[in-house]
């Protein structure tokens, strides 16, 4: 047996005006789960409210926030110092939340008499979507659901599950659109907290959008983007000299070559923010990295995949893969979180794909001069969850700024075609993000994604910069200080 001390967030709406944290010390056996610890607390304090049933990860009733993240109490090991909070949903009492409104939005199968059973192939297709135990962890973290009438991840998962079932008689695509299918930002929070690891964004949202597209139900603004990609190879129109128009195919570093990478620029850095990509190139040159830039590369296809418009995606993939393999490039570097996530997760590449922050951490960088500024870092969803990258940018950032303050991670609202297709939802999420940054004490927001940077800049008074721009500034400052000393 061992003794652990931990905190539970308590709230009784009948007696409390606000939630408060209470500390408990209990004895539990080695390997005890959070649920065991709660039972031990309950023995001391029978007023503690929490739900559980199966005790084995099957019923979903014990979902709660453990150390800040939704998890099942019956499967998570208890530890000294942990915090146990209710899911971020309306609280009934203590750790019990009101899940009824969300359960009501999960459509039942409507079968007709004499309906045929699904074939083996249909059963296999349905399988990844039917494991849901309705714990509502996904619902509790969904950003779109917090600012709109979006039915939420598990309701959408069920729509796709039913759309695949030959017994079902309802029009699930029309139903999903009615329940704001296009409001999902594909931030992937739902998938990352799901105890059954159901890939709702890729396996339900994007698939429902694909069927909607085949029926001509794609949002007009998304159709315009698809037409632009089809006619120009790019998802943004030309408004200035592009990055690719400004650079040669090979950019040699200063001094010794320590690494060689191909560079996939992406539509936003190419067409809208070429200077940011040029800043990155200077950082690579400074650190001995040769950069090869095939000029025939095109849009990665992300804006099309996320919005269900996949007809020309294979040809884009083919052209991009060929651009790098024809030059025998082993490592393709991206600096747009969305492109990187797409190349890593939606492509089958014969080369390794790395974000620029991964490349710099792997090769190792010369220290820039620290800039005297306090910044906060915004994790782009497609870098954090799409590529599992959070420490690499922070390590680089700590080298170039005096102080990095953290802001709780949250989607900015720009992904999944929401910024273009449903701007009011993107705006509401951006505003929440902007408020969080402004109360963080930071003087600047730094990120690694052109979509996030554009969107956040519209929703905060703070300046928003790309990490590569800051690193370049750090090197310029270092050179300036050195020159001043030599004078
Ligand atoms: Fe059933 Fe935890 S008690 S899933």
CA nearest ligand 1 atom 4, residue: 57
Distance (Å, whole) CA 289 – CA 480: 23
> Given this model, what pLDDT does residue 114 score?
83
CATH topology of 236-362 equal to that of 367-479? yes
Tokens 């190879």 correspond to what residue?
233
CA of 76 to the centre of ligand 1 (A): 11
pLDDT score, position 377:
98
Instruction: Tell which one of 38, 39, 50, 62 to mutate to probe ligand 1, the residue whose CB is within 8 A of the most ligand atoms.
Output: 62
Q: How far is the CA of 54 from the centre of ligand 1 (A)?
A: 5
Can you tell me the distance from the alpha carbon of 272 to that of 22, in angstroms, rounded to the nearest whole number? 51
Angular region, 55: left φ>0, alpha ψ -120 to 50, beta rest: left
What stretches of 364-452 adopt beta strand conformation (E)?
371-377, 401-405, 444-447
Q: How far is the CA of 57 from the centre of ligand 1 (A)?
A: 4
Is residue 468 within 8 Å of 356, Cβ to Cβ? yes
Q: Which CATH class is domain 236-362?
A: alpha beta
Q: Does domain 367-479 have CATH number 3.40.228.10?
A: no
Q: For the chain, list residues with pLDDT below 50.
A: none
Helices (H), 28-131: 34-44, 100-103, 120-126
What pLDDT shows up at residue 42?
A: 98
Angle at which helix 467-486 crosses helix 391-400, to 10 degrees, equals 30
Residues making up the chain, counted from first to last: 487
**What is the number of the ligand 1 atom nearest to the C-alpha of 60?**
4
- For the segment(s) 2-97, the CATH number from 3.10.20.30, 3.30.750.24, 3.40.1690.10, 3.30.70.920 is 3.10.20.30
- Find the 59 Cα to ligand 1 centroid distance in Å: 5
C-alpha of residue 62 to centroid of ligand 1, in Å: 5
How many angstroms does the Cα of residue 78 sit away from the middle of ligand 1? 15
Q: Determine the atom of ligand 1 nearest the C-alpha atom of 55.
A: 3
User: Which residues have any ligand 1 atom within 6 Å of their CB?
Assistant: 52-55, 57-62, 72, 74
Mutate to test the pocket of ligand 1, among 36, 66, 74, 132 (most ligand atoms within 8 A of CB): 74
- What is the per-residue pLDDT across 402-440, written as a single tens digit (0 to 9) for each? 999 999 999 999 999 999 999 999 999 999 999 999 999
Q: How far is the CA of 190 from the centre of ligand 1 (A)?
A: 18
- Exposed / middle / buried, residue 391 (Cβ in 10 Å: 0-12, 13-18, 19+): exposed
51 CA from centroid of ligand 1 (Å): 8
pLDDT of residue 291: 98
Helix, coil or strand: residue 145 = helix
CA distance 238 to 220: 20
CA 135 to ligand 1 centroid distance, Å: 9
Q: In ligand 1, which atom is closest to the CA atom of 135?
A: 4
Atom of ligand 1 nearest to the CA of 51: 3
The preferred substitution site among 33, 38, 50, 53 for testing ligand 1, maximizing ligand atoms within 8 Å of CB, is: 53
Is residue 186 within 8 Å of residue 306, measured between CB atoms?
Answer: yes
Q: Which fold has domain 102-215?
A: Fumarate Reductase Iron-sulfur Protein; Chain B, domain 2 (1.10.1060)
User: What is residue 204's DSSP assignment?
Assistant: I
- Residue with token string 């399988």: 127
Pocket test for ligand 1, best of 34, 59, 76, 134 (most atoms within 8 A of CB): 59
Q: Which two tokens stand for residue 176?
A: 């999903």
Q: Which atom of ligand 1 is nearest to the CA of 72?
A: 2
Delimit the domains of the chain by residue range: 2-97, 102-215, 236-362, 367-479
**What is the Å distance from ligand 1's center to 151 Cα?**
24
For residue 195, which atom of ligand 1 is closest to its CA?
4
Angle formed at CA 37 by CA 36 and CA 38, multiple of 5 degrees: 90
Q: Ligand 1 center to residue 218 CA distance, Å?
A: 39
Give me ligand 1 centre to Cα 405, in Å.
36
Looking at ligand 1, which atom is closest to the CA of residue 62? 2
């Amino acid at each position: 047996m061992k003794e652990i001390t931990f905190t539970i967030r308590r709230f009784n709406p009948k007696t409390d005006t606000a939630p408060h944290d209470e500390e408990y010390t209990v004895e539990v056996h080695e390997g005890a789960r959070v649920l065991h610890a709660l039972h031990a607390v309950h023995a001391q304090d029978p007023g503690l409210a929490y739900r559980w049933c199966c005790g084995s990860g099957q019923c979903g009733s014990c979902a709660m926030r453990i150390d800040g993240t939704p998890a099942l109490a019956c499967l998570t090991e208890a530890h000294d110092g942990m915090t146990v909070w209710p899911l971020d949903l309306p609280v009934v009492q203590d750790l019990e939340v009101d899940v009824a409104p969300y359960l009501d939005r999960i459509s039942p199968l409507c079968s007709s008499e004499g309906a045929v059973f699904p074939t083996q192939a249909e059963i296999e297709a349905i399988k990844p979507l039917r494991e849901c135990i309705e714990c509502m962890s996904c619902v509790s973290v969904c950003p779109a659901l917090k600012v709109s009438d979006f039915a939420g991840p598990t309701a959408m998962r069920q729509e796709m599950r039913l759309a695949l079932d030959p017994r079902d008689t309802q029009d699930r695509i029309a139903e999903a659109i009615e329940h704001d299918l296009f409001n999902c930002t594909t931030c992937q929070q739902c998938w990352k907290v799901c105890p059954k690891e159901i890939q709702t964004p890729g396996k339900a949202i994007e698939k429902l959008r694909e069927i909607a597209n085949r029926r001509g139900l794609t949002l007009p603004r998304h159709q315009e983007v698809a037409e632009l990609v089809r006619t120009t190879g790019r998802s943004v129109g030309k408004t200035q000299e592009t990055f690719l128009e400004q650079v040669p195919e090979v950019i040699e570093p200063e001094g010794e070559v320590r690494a060689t990478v191909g560079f996939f620029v992406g539509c936003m850095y190419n067409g809208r923010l070429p200077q940011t990509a040029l800043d990155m190139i200077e950082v690579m040159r400074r650190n001995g990295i040769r950069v090869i830039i095939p000029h025939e590369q095109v849009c990665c296809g992300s804006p099309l995949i996320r919005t269900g418009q996949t007809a020309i995606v294979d040809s884009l993939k083919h052209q991009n893969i060929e651009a790098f393999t024809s030059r025998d490039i082993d490592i393709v570097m991206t600096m747009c979180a969305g492109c990187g996530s797409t190349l890593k997760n939606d492509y089958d590449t014969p080369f390794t794909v790395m974000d620029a922050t991964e490349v710099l951490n792997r090769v190792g960088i010369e220290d820039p001069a620290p800039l005297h500024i306090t910044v906060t870092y915004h994790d782009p969803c497609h870098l954090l969850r799409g590529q599992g990258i959070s420490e690499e940018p922070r390590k680089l950032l700590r080298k170039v700024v005096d102080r990095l303050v953290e802001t709780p991670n949250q989607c900015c609202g720009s992904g999944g075609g929401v910024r273009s297709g449903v701007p009011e939802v993107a705006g509401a999420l951006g505003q929440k993000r902007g408020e969080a940054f402004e109360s963080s004490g930071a003087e600047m927001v730094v990120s690694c994604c052109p979509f996030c940077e554009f969107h956040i800049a519209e929703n905060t008074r703070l300046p928003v910069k790309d990490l590569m721009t800051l690193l370049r500034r750090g090197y310029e400052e270092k050179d300036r200080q050195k020159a001043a000393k030599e004078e």
